[in-house]
Amino acid sequence: MITEAPGSAQLVLPRNVVHLDPAAAVFEAMKDGWARQQAARFLKTKTAPASGAAPGGIHRPVPVAVDSSGSEAFIAHLRSGTQPIHMSTARTYEVTISLFLEYLPDRRYGWIETCLERFGEAPQEGNSVLHTVEYEADPRRRPLDYDEVQALFDAADARPARMRGQGRKGALTALRDAAVLKTIYAYGTRRTESSRVDLVDLRRNRKAPQFGAYGSMMVRFGKSSKGAPPKRRTVLTVPEMDWAVDVLDEWITEIRPRFSPGRHPALWVTERVGRLSPRSTNEAFVAARQDAGLDEDLDLHCLRHIVSA
C-alpha cells in the first residue's frame, strides 16, 4: 500500500482512535478517501442516497453500498414503490457504485487490508443492468411543439398580473421567471448553465450588429466531461429568436434594477440579491406548465428540443 496516495486508508482512518461504531466510522472514512481520490484526479464525487450494507454486516443509510448484496438491494429498492426509477437512472447509480467499488479493492489505498483486519471480510463488486440500447431516457419526455411553447410563455406572462390582482406577493419574481424561461428557450441553455450566466457574458456579435449588446451569450459553465473542466461555448442570437433581444433588454434595464442587485454579477438575481438557483428555475417552469395545462411529463430540459415545422 502506498500510504501517500490520496484516499489511502491510513490517511483518513487514524489507527490510534477507538470508534464506538467501527463499521460506520470505516465507511465514512471510505467515502472521505474516495472523495480525496476523485478530487486528486480532477473528478467529481457522485453519490446516490441509498440504504446499503456497511462493513461488518451492519445495515444503515449510506450514500453507496460496499458489497454486491447492498448495491443490488439498493437498486431493487429504488425500482419498487409508487415512483420507481427508470433504467437510465438505475444505470447512473450503478456506475457510481461501481466506481466506488473499483476504488476500494485497489491495493494502493489499503481498504482490503483494513476491512479484513477489522471485520474479516472485504468489499465485493456487484452485478449491473445490461446495456442493450443506446437511448434509455424516459420515453414520455419529448420535445414541445410550437403551440405548447406559446401556451407556456402565455401562462408565464399572465402570472404577474394575476398575482397583483389577487394581492399576492411575487409579481416581480414572476416577471423574472418569464424572462428566464424565454431566454433558456432562445439560447438553449441548461438549468445550471443559465444560473451561472453573468451580465458580462452577454456580448456583441460583429456579424450581427442589429442585436446590439445581445448578439451572443458566453456559456462558461457548460456540462463537463468526466475529469474535465466545464465546457465553454458561445451561443449566437439568431434571427428566428430576435425577440429575445427585447426580453433581455427589458429585464436588464427595467426589471432587474427593481431587485436592487447592486454590483452582483449574475444575470438572473433573486429578491435577496443572490444568484437564481437551478432549482428555482425548474420551479418556474413547473408553475408555468401547470398554469398552461401542459403534460406533466414535460420538463425544463424539453425547452432545448422543439418539434420542427
Question: Quick one: average pLDDT of 99-122?
Answer: 77
Q: Which amino acid is at 297?
A: D
| Comparison of pLDDT for 308 and 206, the residue scoring more | 206
Residue 98 has what pLDDT? Answer: 73
User: What would the pLDDT profile of 234-279 be if each residue is shown by its tens digit?
Assistant: 999 999 999 999 999 999 999 999 999 999 999 999 999 999 999 9
What angle, 0 to 180 degrees and rounded to 10, lies between the N-to-C axes of helices 68-79 and 87-103? Answer: 160
pLDDT average, residue stretch 128-141: 55
Domain ranges of the chain: 9-119, 146-304
Whats the size of the chain, residue-wise? 309
Can you tell me the distance from the alpha carbon of 257 to that of 120, in angstroms, rounded to the nearest whole number? 64
**pLDDT at residue 103 in the model:** 80
d(CA 267, CA 197): 6
The single residue listed with the C-alpha cell 406577493 is 169
Rounded Cα distance, 269 and 264, in Å: 8
Of 192, 204, 159, 184, residue with least CA distance to 44: 192
Handedness of CA 83, 86, 92, 96 (dihedral sign): positive
Tell me how far apart the alpha carbons of residues 68 and 59 are, in angstroms, rounded to a whole number: 13
Cβ atoms of 250 and 179 closer than 8 Å: yes
- Across the chain, what does the average pLDDT equal? 80
Comparing 31-40, 213-222, 228-237, the range with the smallest average pLDDT is 31-40
Give the homologous superfamily in CATH for domain 146-304.
Answer: Intergrase catalytic core (1.10.443.10)
* Backbone region of residue 7 per phi and psi (left: phi > 0; alpha: psi in -120 to 50; beta: other values): left
pLDDT at residue 134, rounded to an integer: 52
Identity of the highest mean pLDDT range in 18-27, 65-74, 146-155:
146-155
